[in-house]
Amino acid sequence: MEDSLNCIYRVINFIEKNYDQSISVKDLEDVSHYSYRNIQRIFKYSCGETIGGFQQRLKVENAYKLILYSKESLTSIGLEVGFANIASFSKAFKQHFGISPKAAKLSKEKLLCGPDLVPVTSDILLKPEIIYLKPTEIYYQSIHTYYNNEEIELLWERFMQNEFPVSDTEYFGVVADEPLIKTEINCRYDACSTIQAKNKKLPSKAIFGGKYARFAHHGGYETIDETYTKIYSRWIFHSGLEFSHTPIIEKYEKHATENKEEQLTYILLPLK
């Protein structure tokens, strides 16, 4: 557990020292010794905040200190804390504090800053199955969104309107994180079936092909983040496995319309 927290603290300390610089995917991989995809999720589920969100918070909070305690211009302050121009600085500042930098400078009132990050690890150590899966052709529709929100539910509603055979059709979700460190984990999400739709020709591609750690999530999809938290704030540190950069796949094994406790979703993490 101590090694797990040390990994997260290394990332926190690195961002705190370099918050005003452009932090690359490689920088974070070198500091954490994890792939960008995994350190994004480890950080989010251990700290409750994304890497990009944490860095932006440090920028605007340090800018506010300069507004209070220096005579520098707002443009100089924005550039000093790492924003490209006054427009992006003003937008981020207002999103965080609810008022513009100019208004903050005039009022000099004390604004509420965010708390220091204190990473945590899960008390529950999951035990996945390690399985080998052959490539599978699937038919899909995609969306770019934040994971686990209403847009994904709407995508599935539209996807199922295409009509698929009731028997023998399997359903998957493919979660491909964008290769950038953002304020939110923005991803491409694919709703997938193993059989072509009856009333629309959907694009196809192959998924799987290789080794996966398979975790079982019991219950409704609205609580699936709890299982991801157990994976990324505990299991991943102790697995001793090397992870692939290919997408995470969810297999919707059992769907229950009435009793959500009977639902079963497999989360499949790709391994090298």
Give the CA distances from residue 10 to residues 33, 179, 202, 221, in Å, rounded to whole numbers and listed in that order: 10, 21, 45, 32
Residues 98 and 145 both lie in one domain: no
Residue 238 falls in which region: left (phi positive, over 0), alpha (psi -120 to 50) or beta: alpha
What pLDDT sits at residue 68? 86
What pLDDT sits at residue 95? 92
The Cβ-side half-sphere exposure at 7, using a 13 Å CA radius, reads 25
Distance separating alpha carbons of residues 181 and 166, to the nearest angstrom: 40
What pLDDT sits at residue 1? 59
What pLDDT sits at residue 238? 84
Residues 265 and 133 both lie in one domain: yes
What's the CATH number where 186 sits?
A: 3.20.80.10
Give the mean pLDDT of the chain.
Answer: 90
Tokens of 131: 């399985």
For residue range 88-112, list pLDDT tens digits in order.
999 999 999 999 999 988 886 777 6
Tokens of 250: 């969810």
Low-confidence ranges of the chain (pLDDT < 70): 1-2, 108, 112, 179-182
Residues 96 and 199 both lie in one domain: no
Residues 84 and 139 both lie in one domain: no
What pLDDT sits at residue 37? 85
Residues 140 and 76 both lie in one domain: no
The parent domain of residue 205 ranges over 129-271
Residues 51 and 16 both lie in one domain: yes
Residues 80 and 186 both lie in one domain: no
| pTM score of the predicted model | 0.85
Residues 93 and 196 both lie in one domain: no
Q: How many domains does the chain have?
A: 2
Q: Which of 74, 107, 140 is the last residue of a domain?
A: 107
226: Cβ contacts below 8 Å, ≥ 6 apart: none
